């Protein structure tokens, strides 16, 4: 059976969100639903129809994402991919994903990215795991910093009401967004969601709180968090601080913000649900075992146009290889490409030469933001190396520091 696919109109919004609610078990309040609607790009929200009924959905945001080297690239932020339980295993998901990738290419975007609700789904559409995030659970009783942790006597810490300092947060974030691959520019609607503080947004964790660190020139960092107070039967405090996000312009501001989080009165545990793999806090803590870190996948990346995507990013080391890309979903990528790059620039052209390495496009996507584990994929038998050392050369060139991390689900 064929299910026609087309973008939805605003009048079809309720029918489209009904699919999301059913597929994800999502029960938004009216205000949450309105915020989500304000973020939606209707011309990029594809729906599959069974007669007049919406039975599948795949949306995208027009993001501006940082890639290795600090350039901000137009990226399709794939979201809201869902199919009604009654219509699973009928080809709807595949049709939506293929149509979406064709639309992404037509718009001139060379890269798509997403957060995967299930990690096993998107590899077959050419997405590779491109970033990892960590979650920290820190006991505040043993959270001292190493000797020599940065300090700046000009910095002041202030308690702040989140809505009153929104402009400062926006300026600070805009000043650091190009420093890490995966971070993306935030629109007004994005900030509306970050700072949302209704009872439903609190989820029993109390109101959104904030501290800022600043000097005479302005704000140099901020942290957003919630606190769940608790006392045991003996009257001993056991509060939990839930970190929403923390960004700083420099190491001294970063260290002072974390001290403000870790030294909070009546708090015995800090939960930081999403932090980058190479978070500087790992180096700052005198007892890093207190992080109780656990990791899981974050961004998945799909290279939609090989030539444009590979030229758009920077490279950490010289590379000159012929890479054979296997891509059944986007056949325009399939073939052999000579990548010639160094820290000064890159060139990527189709060639007929024998390849140095053959790889699926998902492997290229996993490496795109700088953390692709290409040598591990070679050892796992997922890549084919025709020239000894070619994968190591490609991996060294595409690796990047700092590690990729988006920090905020889209």
DSSP track, 107-133: TT--EEEEE-SSTTSGGGGT-EE--EE
Alpha helices of 177-250 — where are they, by DSSP H? 188-194, 199-202
> What per-residue confidence (pLDDT) applies to 233?
87
Residue 123 in this model has a pLDDT that exceeds 90 = yes
Which phi and psi (to 5°) does residue 388 adopt?
Answer: -55, 130
- Point out the least confidently predicted range of 97-106, 111-120, 228-237: 228-237
Residue 293 in this model has a pLDDT that exceeds 90 = yes
Q: What number is the average pLDDT over the span 232-241?
A: 91
Q: What number is the average pLDDT over the span 85-94?
A: 95
**Under 8 Å CB-to-CB from 118, ≥6 apart: which residues?**
none
Q: What number is the average pLDDT over the span 359-367?
A: 98
Which phi and psi (to 5°) does residue 40 adopt?
Answer: -70, 135
- When pLDDT is cut at 50, 70 and 90, the band that residue 237 belongs to is confident
- When pLDDT is cut at 50, 70 and 90, the band that residue 363 belongs to is very high
Residue 1 in this model has a pLDDT that exceeds 80 = no
> What per-residue confidence (pLDDT) applies to 367?
98
> What per-residue confidence (pLDDT) applies to 111?
98
Q: How many CB atoms lie within 10 A of CB 141?
A: 10
> What per-residue confidence (pLDDT) applies to 288?
94
Q: How many CB atoms lie within 10 A of CB 12?
A: 17
Model pLDDT for residues 276-292, shown as the tens digit of each residue: 999 999 999 999 999 99
- When pLDDT is cut at 50, 70 and 90, the band that residue 372 belongs to is confident
Q: Mean pLDDT in the chain?
A: 97
Q: What number is the average pLDDT over the span 30-51?
A: 97
Q: What number is the average pLDDT over the span 253-272?
A: 98
**Under 8 Å CB-to-CB from 22, ≥6 apart: which residues?**
82, 84, 85
Cis previous bond, 402, omega within 30: yes
Using CA atoms, how far apart are residues 28 and 20, in angstroms rounded to an integer? 10
- Strand segments, DSSP code E, in 178-256 are 209-215, 218-228, 239-248
Q: How many CB atoms lie within 10 A of CB 73?
A: 19
Q: What number is the average pLDDT over the span 178-191?
A: 98
370: tokens are 């700088």
Q: What number is the average pLDDT over the span 63-88?
A: 97
Looking at the chain, the whole-number percentage of residues with pLDDT higher than 70 is 100
Which residues share a beta bridge with 275? Answer: 134
Q: What number is the average pLDDT over the span 390-407?
A: 98
């Amino acid at each position: 059976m064929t299910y026609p696919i087309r973008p939805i109109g605003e009048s079809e919004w309720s029918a489209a969100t009904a699919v999301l609610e059913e597929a994800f078990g999502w029960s938004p309040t009216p205000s949450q639903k309105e915020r989500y609607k304000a973020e939606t790009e209707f011309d990029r929200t594809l729906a599959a129809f069974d007669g007049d009924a919406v039975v599948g959905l795949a949306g995208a945001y027009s993001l501006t994402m940082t890639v290795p080297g600090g350039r901000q690239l137009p990226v399709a932020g794939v979201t809201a991919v869902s199919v009604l339980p009654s219509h699973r295993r009928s080809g709807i998901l595949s049709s939506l994903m293929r149509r979406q990738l064709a639309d992404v290419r037509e718009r001139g975007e060379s890269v798509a990215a997403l957060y995967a609700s299930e990690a096993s789904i998107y590899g077959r559409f050419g997405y590779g795991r491109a970033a990892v995030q960590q979650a920290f659970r820190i006991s505040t009783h043993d959270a001292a910093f190493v000797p020599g942790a940065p300090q700046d006597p000009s910095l002041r810490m202030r308690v702040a009401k989140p809505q009153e300092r929104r402009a400062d947060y926006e300026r600070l974030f805009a000043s650091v967004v190009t420093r890490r691959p995966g971070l993306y520019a935030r629109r007004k609607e994005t900030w509306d969601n970050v700072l949302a503080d209704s009872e439903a947004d609190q989820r029993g964790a109390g109101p959104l709180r904030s501290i800022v660190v600043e000097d005479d020139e302005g704000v140099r960092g901020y942290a957003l968090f919630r606190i769940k107070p608790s006392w045991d039967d003996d009257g001993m405090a056991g509060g939990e601080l839930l970190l929403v996000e923390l960004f700083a312009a420099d190491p001294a501001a970063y260290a002072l913000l974390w001290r403000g989080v870790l030294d909070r009165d009546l708090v015995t545990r800090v939960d930081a649900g999403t932090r980058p793999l190479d978070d500087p806090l790992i180096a700052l803590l005198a007892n890093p075992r207190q992080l109780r870190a656990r990791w899981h996948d974050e961004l998945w990346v799909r290279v939609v146009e090989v030539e444009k995507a590979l030229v758009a990013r920077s490279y950490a080391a010289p590379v000159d290889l012929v890479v054979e890309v296997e891509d059944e979903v986007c056949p325009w990528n399939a073939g052999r490409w000579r990548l010639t790059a160094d820290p000064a620039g890159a060139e990527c052209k189709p060639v007929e030469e024998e390849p140095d390495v053959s790889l699926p496009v998902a492997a290229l996507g996993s490496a795109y933001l700088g953390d692709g584990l290409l040598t591990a994929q070679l050892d796992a038998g997922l890549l084919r190396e025709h020239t000894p050392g070619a994968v190591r050369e490609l991996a060294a060139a595409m690796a990047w520091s700092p590690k990729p991390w988006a920090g905020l689900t889209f």
